[in-house]
């Protein structure tokens, strides 16, 4: 036990009323007991082992292209913090040979030590930014190269980190490498203590995590969902993805009653709230099919990607009130006409690229209804916007291959 552990214990007690509001699974695994999650113990493999840590669903999705490439050359362990992220990782990577999915430990030194003893990585890549002091220190103590991949540090997060720089800077300067999405992120990480010669601008792997090929028709899964809910494929469909508080009611009022609106709330704990905000809606979880309905709530996990394929227009949620946006890349890659609200500071890098290509449109609360109606009524404008979006995504792809080369270089250097 170290001084940091002694600080974690009272902090955990004080904050318990907050984090206990949400039911969390796998507490034994969070304490580092992940042996039951490993199909094959580390000592049974002679290959190099790469640990890729993704906090939740968004970070897991960023690994879609990287993991299949990596398993060709080394064993891969994907660790995840949240329950929803773990389910997504198991869905994406659970059947891939030479890939394991485990739960990331709490940052107490003995839990980290137990976890590393079982996983035995040769290199660790932390997706986007997940710098926990005991974990970083534990890796460095064992000579395991640890760094950030697909790195990003928003201006908002930077202010928070920099306020406590004195305490957390050692974790940053211990990093062996940092692959970041753009120059702004590079400068912020260097200000936090990462050595400039260890930072590489590699672009975003999220551009690689989506399929930008042309699909003439929605996939079988999308069609099955539409039929199960009573969505008419011959009538206009607007899909609002990853919505936040207040947006369900806003969009219900803004989108014309004769246009089918499918709303997918971002958080599981908001499913009931979202359903209540849209009177008369058909909820996916209910199993109800009501032909002629025009309001639908997708209150399930793992189906939004398929439902995006049904859309004529996509609206990106968590961007119209006081949140910070959701990821617009996936529907853009599908060639959809995409609208987003003005609050999208968590995705400035992607937004800058898409806006420059005229591949996305920013609208406010007052204008979202009119903008949606205009796109639905103009097939040519909608199609042209979608084509620009797909071309933009294709032009940005390639970061995953660069990350692969960097991770393998560090793993081989240790070996």
Q: What is the rounded distance in angstroms from the CA atom of residue 280 to the CA atom of residue 136?
A: 50
Task: Specify if 197 maps to a domain.
Answer: yes
Q: pLDDT by residue (tens digit) across 377-414?
A: 999 999 999 999 999 999 999 999 999 999 999 998 76
Residues 225 and 352 in one domain: yes
φ, ψ at 395 (rounded to 5°): -70, -25
Q: Which token pair is 5?
A: 């552990």
Q: Which pair of structure tokens corresponds to residue 213?
A: 């090929």
Residues 233 and 177 in one domain: no
Is residue 213 in a domain? no
What Å distances lie between residue 318 and 192, 194, 345, CA to CA? Answer: 28, 31, 11
CA nearest to 208, candidates 403, 75, 385, 407: 403
In a domain, residue 215? The reply is: no
Query: Does one domain contain both 229 and 152?
Result: no
Q: Give which of 392, 75, 361 is closest to 206, Cα–Cα.
A: 392
**DSSP E strands: which ranges in 118-232?**
123-127, 146-151, 177-180, 199-201
Cα–Cα distance for residue pair 121/143, rounded to 1 Å: 10
> Distance of CA 134 to CAs 103, 105, 110, 379, 385, Å?
16, 11, 9, 55, 47
3-state secondary structure of 179: strand
136/152 same-domain check: yes
Give yes or no: residues 300 and 352 share one domain.
yes
How many structural domains is the chain composed of?
Answer: 2
What does pTM read for this prediction? 0.86
> What is the radius of gyration, based on Cα positions, of the chain?
22
Domain match, 240 and 98 both: no
The 3-state DSSP class for residue 241 equals: strand
Asked, for residue 251, whether it belongs to a domain, the answer is yes
Same structural domain for residues 260 and 307? yes
Q: CB neighbours (10 Å) of residue 402?
A: 18
Tell me, yes or no, whether 9 lies in a domain: no
Shared domain check, 195 and 81: yes
Residues 356 and 253 occupy one common structural domain: yes
Distance of CA 254 to the CA centre of its chain: 28
Q: Are 343 and 322 in contact (CB under 8 A)?
A: yes
Q: What does the alpha-carbon distance between residue 271 and residue 303 come to, in Å, rounded to a whole number?
A: 14
Return the closest-CA partner of residue 265 out of 246, 287, 282, 293: 246
Instruction: Report the CATH number at residue 92.
Output: 3.40.50.11720
User: CA–CA separation, 245 vs 342, rounded Å?
Assistant: 15
* Residue 174 domain flag: yes
Which residues lie below 8 Å from residue 227, measured CB to CB, with a gap of 6+? 289
* 45 domain-assigned: yes
Same domain? For 119 and 256 the reply is no
Per-residue pLDDT of the chain in tens (415 residues, 90 and over written 9): 787 767 776 666 665 565 556 667 888 999 999 999 998 887 778 899 999 999 999 899 999 999 999 999 999 999 999 998 999 999 999 999 999 999 999 999 999 999 999 999 999 999 999 899 999 999 999 999 999 999 999 888 999 888 888 888 999 999 999 999 999 999 999 999 999 999 999 999 999 999 898 888 999 999 999 999 999 999 999 999 999 999 999 999 999 999 999 999 999 999 999 999 999 999 999 999 999 999 999 999 889 999 999 999 999 999 999 999 999 999 999 999 999 999 999 999 899 999 999 999 999 999 999 999 999 999 999 999 999 999 999 999 999 999 999 999 999 876 5
Query: Which parts of 128-230 are beta strand (E)?
Result: 146-151, 177-180, 199-201
Q: Which two tokens stand for residue 334?
A: 């599908």
Whether residue 3 lies inside any domain: the answer is no
Q: Are residues 237 and 309 in the same domain?
A: yes
Q: Which residue has the tokens 């958080």?
A: 267
> Do 204 and 237 share a structural domain?
no
Q: Which domain holds residue 405?
A: 22-208+398-414
Q: How many whole angstroms from its chain centre is CA 123?
A: 22
């Amino acid at each position: 036990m170290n001084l940091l552990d002694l600080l974690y214990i009272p902090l955990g007690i004080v904050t318990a009323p907050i984090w206990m509001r949400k039911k969390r699974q796998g507490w034994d695994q969070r304490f580092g007991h992940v042996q039951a999650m490993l199909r094959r113990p580390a000592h049974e493999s002679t290959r190099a082992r790469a640990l890729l840590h993704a906090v939740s669903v968004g970070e897991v999705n960023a690994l879609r292209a990287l993991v299949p490439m990596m398993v060709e050359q080394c064993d891969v362990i994907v660790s995840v913090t949240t329950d929803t992220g773990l389910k997504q990782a198991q869905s994406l990577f659970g059947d891939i040979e030479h890939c394991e999915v485990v739960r990331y430990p709490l940052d107490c030194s003995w839990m980290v030590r137990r976890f590393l003893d079982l996983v035995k990585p040769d290199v660790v890549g932390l997706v986007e930014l997940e710098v926990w002091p005991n974990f970083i220190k534990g890796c460095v103590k064992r000579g395991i190269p640890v760094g950030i991949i697909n790195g990003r540090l928003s201006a908002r997060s930077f202010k928070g980190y920099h306020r406590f720089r004195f305490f957390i800077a050692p974790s940053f300067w211990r990093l062996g490498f940092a692959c970041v999405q753009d120059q702004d992120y590079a400068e912020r990480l260097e200000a936090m203590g990462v050595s400039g010669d260890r930072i590489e601008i590699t672009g975003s792997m999220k551009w690689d995590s989506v399929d930008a090929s042309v699909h003439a028709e929605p996939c079988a899964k999308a069609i099955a969902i539409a039929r199960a809910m009573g969505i008419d494929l011959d009538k206009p469909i607007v899909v609002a993805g990853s919505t936040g508080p207040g947006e369900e009611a806003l969009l219900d009022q803004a989108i014309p009653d004769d246009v089918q609106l499918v709303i997918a709330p971002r958080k599981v704990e908001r499913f009931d709230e979202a359903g209540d905000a849209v009177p008369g809606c058909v909820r996916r979880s209910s199993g109800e099919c009501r032909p002629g309905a025009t309001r639908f709530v997708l209150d399930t996990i793992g189906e939004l990607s398929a439902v995006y394929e049904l859309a004529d227009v996509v609206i990106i949620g968590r961007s119209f009130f006081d949140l910070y946006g959701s990821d617009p890349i996936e529907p853009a890659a599908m060639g959809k006409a995409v609208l987003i609200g003005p609050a999208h500071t968590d995705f400035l890098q992607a937004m800058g690229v898409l806006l420059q290509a005229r591949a996305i449109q920013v609208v406010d609360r007052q204008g979202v209804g009119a903008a949606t109606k205009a796109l639905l009524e103009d097939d040519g404008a909608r199609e042209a916007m979608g084509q620009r979006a797909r071309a933009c995504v294709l032009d940005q792809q390639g970061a995953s291959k660069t990350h692969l080369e960097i991770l393998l270089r560090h793993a081989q250097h240790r070996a």
